[in-house]
Structure 1
Amino acid sequence: MSEKHPGKRICQIVKLKPEYLEEYKECHKHVWEPVAANLKKYHIEDYSIHYAPEFDLLIATFKYTGDDWAKDGEASRLDEGNFKWWEMTDKMQETLVPGSTGSRDKSGWWVNLEEVFRYDH
């Protein structure tokens, strides 16, 4: 029996174009099955997205439970199960990654944030 990896928490941000707020919320009420399946496939759990309207920011947090975040992140980026979803959602967003052209871009689309404090009890 294999032991489950303890996990790594990840937080990312991207700007939301405010005119897409309601559409963005609506599509996330009905996440497509291939997209949800890929979260599990690439060891992502406890995924949530929050919206900060005063900054037009989407803030995503999740727990990665695999052994190689770089490898799984790259595999996810190349997984066709995500392509149409990202085509839809990327048009609603504005990246903060200089020069990025979309979620399939090797440089990333969402900015990864450094964790500076954590309290677990």
Structure 2
Amino acid sequence: MEQAKRICQIIKLKPEFAEEYKRLHANVWPGVLAALGKHHISDYSISHHPPLQLLIATFKYTGDDYEKDMKTIGEDEETRKWWEITDRMQESFNDGATGSGKEIPWWTDVDEVFRFEGGSTIL
């Protein structure tokens, strides 16, 4: 099994959908959450930065085949229905992207450049 890794992704939220997107995510469908958990996704959060209309998602992946798990999540029927609703609220930064679970990634992965996990420092 690979070591757990943090994933960060960004996408643009269409401003006219900001409130609807937040309401929808206040009550994520149980089947969508189950698919994430079943495929080694935990500690998932989505933040919204209104000045740039960015959605910033971070999560921990603890499985050993990220590509396979992401593909399998994308084949889950309830997740696909969820994406049909949420994709219309978003705008991808990736040229040619047409929606979640398609050949061209809908979200843009963001490289981590720094992490501090706590602990004391000696001065």
Q: TM-score, normalised by structure 2?
A: 0.91
Structure 1: distance between partners of 2:61 and 2:13: 24
Q: Deviations over 1:2-59 (max 9, x none)?
A: xx86410000000000000000000001100110101101110000000011100000
Partner of 1:68: 65
For the pair shown, the structure with the greater C-alpha radius of gyration is: 2
Report the CA distance between 1:66 and its aligned residue: 0.6
Q: Deviations over 1:90-110 (max 9, x none)?
A: 000001111011002122111
Structure 1: distance between partners of 2:10 and 2:108: 5
Give ranges in structure 2 of 5+ residues lacking alignment: 119-123
Partner of 2:11: 14
- Residue identity opposite 2:61 in structure 1: Y
Trace 1:1-121 onto structure 2 (pairs within 5 A): 6-121=3-118
Structure 1: distance between partners of 2:100 and 2:39: 16
Dislocated runs of 4+, deviation >4 Å = none
Q: TM-score, normalised by structure 1?
A: 0.92
**Given that residues 71 and 101 in structure 2 are in contact (C-alpha distance below 8 angstroms), is that contact kept between their aligned partners in structure 1?**
no
**Given that residues 46 and 57 in structure 2 are in contact (C-alpha distance below 8 angstroms), is that contact kept between their aligned partners in structure 1?**
yes
- Residue identity opposite 1:26 in structure 2: R
Query: RMSD of aligned C-alpha atoms?
Result: 1.3
Structure 2: distance between partners of 1:63 and 1:104: 19
Tell me, what secondary structure is at the counterpart of 1:37? helix
Tell me, what secondary structure is at the counterpart of 1:54? helix
Identity in percent: 54
